[in-house]
């Protein structure tokens, strides 16, 4: 199977490339300067030249804070760019997997969100991603939109690496404890995407495996508990660690509002695609060990 993923340095793009290297999946990346999702006019030709069997829309404008002051750019990339990619895939008659987010919800429910729950974003980033979902679905019926959350990995900037970088002379790190969600390893997500793609290619007429699905790590926690698990895994690998003090969101004001409940129900994904990501705690140790090893290599 040959797939194209947009982006080159994103967490999921790098995870797909790594997982593809160790499997029968050939993963090609499509990123700047070859294409620019903010100016996607040359996207169809660039994608067609690679002759993929499917495409993964992973590149995005991901700065939740900056999106509040750069809404036009956020929409250009997350909505219009995603639409152009979906249209290019439709022209090639191939499926598209589009990555979306828990931030399409406002977080007010007292249970995990299902795919049929009405979206209601509370920040520009969430609004731009929701619009992207809508445009992708309209541009290419042969799609699977995968909403995920709290992504971390050995690659790029993410919460796990940020927590480890904060350990220095601090005896304690304050972390928000009243927002709940499911930490999701980008490597696990990549494995899940491969399974979804195989299904889409093998079952071209199956409507049940197309549409919107939720894909997050199993179980749930809050940011403070996630930080504690990161430091526990780091300590077990002789790495840095710190005490964590749980604080309220109101004690850590941000420009963009965040949903208090980012839990997503993954039942539909398992029922339709047979995909179930591991429990979030089961994937932390490997990632933290790799981050520590990489940081050590940089210092020697």
Q: Would you place residue 31 in the very low, low, confident or very high pLDDT band (cuts 50, 70, 90)?
A: confident
In a domain, 39, yes or no: yes
| Among 61, 75, 113, 125, the one annotated catalytic | 125
Give 246-268 pLDDT, tens digit per residue: 999 999 999 999 999 999 999 99
pLDDT tens string 101-160: 999 999 999 999 999 999 999 999 999 999 999 999 999 999 999 999 999 999 999 999
Query: Quick one: what percent of the chain has pLDDT higher than 90?
Result: 88
CB atoms within 10 A of CB 263: 23
d(CA 51, CA 35): 16
Q: Considering the domain boundaries, does residue 257 fall inside one?
A: no
294 in a structural domain: no
In a domain, 189, yes or no: yes
In which domain, by residue range, is 212 found?
Answer: 2-156+183-218+262-280
At residue 33 the predicted structure's pLDDT band, cuts being 50, 70 and 90, is: confident
pLDDT for 181-231, tens place per residue? 999 999 999 999 999 999 999 999 999 999 999 999 999 999 999 999 999
Checking if the pLDDT of 296 tops 80, the result is: no
Element (H or E) spanning 29, and its range? strand 26-30
Q: Rounded to an integer, what distance in angstroms lies between the CA atom of residue 66 and that of residue 97?
A: 26
How many helices (H) and strands (E) are present in the chain, helices listed first? 11, 12
238 domain-assigned? no
Using CA atoms, how far residue 163 sits from 52, 174, 245, 260, in Å, is 38, 10, 13, 20
Mean pLDDT confidence for 23-29 = 92
Q: Is residue 300 part of a domain?
A: no
Tokens at 191, concatenated: 């494995």
Domain with residue 192: its CATH number is 3.40.50.720
- Mean residue pLDDT across the chain: 94
> Mean per-residue pLDDT for 3-21?
95
Calculated CA dihedral for residues 190, 195, 201, 206, nearest 10 degrees: -130
**Is 125 in the active site?**
yes
Residue 210 lies in a domain: yes
Q: What is the C-alpha separation between 78 and 146, in angstroms, rounded?
A: 14
Q: Provide the number of structural domains found in the chain.
A: 1
Can you give the pLDDT at residue 300?
A: 36
Give Cβ neighbours of residue 272 (< 8 Å, ≥ 6 apart).
208, 209, 213
Looking at the domain assignment, is residue 110 inside a domain?
Answer: yes
Phi-psi region of 219 (alpha: psi -120 to 50; beta: other; left: phi over 0): left
Q: What is the DSSP string of 264-283?
A: B--HHHHHHH---PPBGGGG
Q: Is the dihedral of CA 162, 14, 211, 215 positive or negative?
A: negative
* pLDDT score of 254: 93
Q: If you count them, how many residues does the chain have?
A: 300
């Amino acid at each position: 199977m040959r797939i194209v993923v947009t982006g080159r340095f994103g967490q999921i793009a790098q995870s797909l490339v790594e997982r593809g290297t160790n499997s029968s999946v050939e993963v090609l990346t499509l990123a700047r300067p070859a294409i620019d999702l903010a100016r996607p006019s040359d996207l169809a030709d660039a994608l067609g030249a690679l002759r993929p069997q499917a495409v993964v829309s992973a590149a995005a404008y991901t700065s939740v804070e900056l999106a509040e002051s750069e809404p036009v750019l956020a929409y250009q990339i997350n909505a219009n760019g995603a639409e152009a990619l979906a249209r290019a895939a439709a022209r090639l008659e191939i499926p598209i997997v589009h990555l979306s987010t828990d931030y399409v919800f406002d977080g007010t429910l007292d249970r995990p969100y299902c795919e049929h729950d009405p979206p209601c974003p509370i920040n520009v980033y969430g609004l731009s991603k929701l619009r992207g979902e809508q445009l992708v679905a309209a541009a290419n019926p042969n799609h699977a939109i995968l909403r995920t959350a709290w992504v971390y990995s050995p690659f790029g900037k993410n919460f796990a690496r940020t927590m480890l970088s904060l350990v220095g002379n601090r005896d304690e790190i304050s972390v928000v404890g009243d927002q709940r969600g499911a930490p999701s390893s980008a490597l696990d997500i990549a494995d899940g995407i491969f399974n979804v793609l195989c299904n889409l290619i093998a079952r071209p007429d199956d409507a049940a495996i197309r549409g919107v699905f939720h894909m997050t790590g199993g179980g749930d926690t809050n940011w403070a508990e996630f930080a504690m698990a990161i430091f526990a895994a780091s300590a077990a690998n002789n790495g840095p660690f710190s005490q964590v003090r749980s604080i309220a969101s109101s004690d850590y004001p941000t420009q963009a509002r965040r949903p208090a409940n980012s839990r997503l129900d993954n039942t539909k994904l398992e029922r339709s695609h047979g995909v179930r990501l591991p429990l979030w705690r089961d994937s932390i140790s490997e990632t933290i060990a790799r981050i520590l090893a990489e940081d050590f290599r940089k210092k020697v």
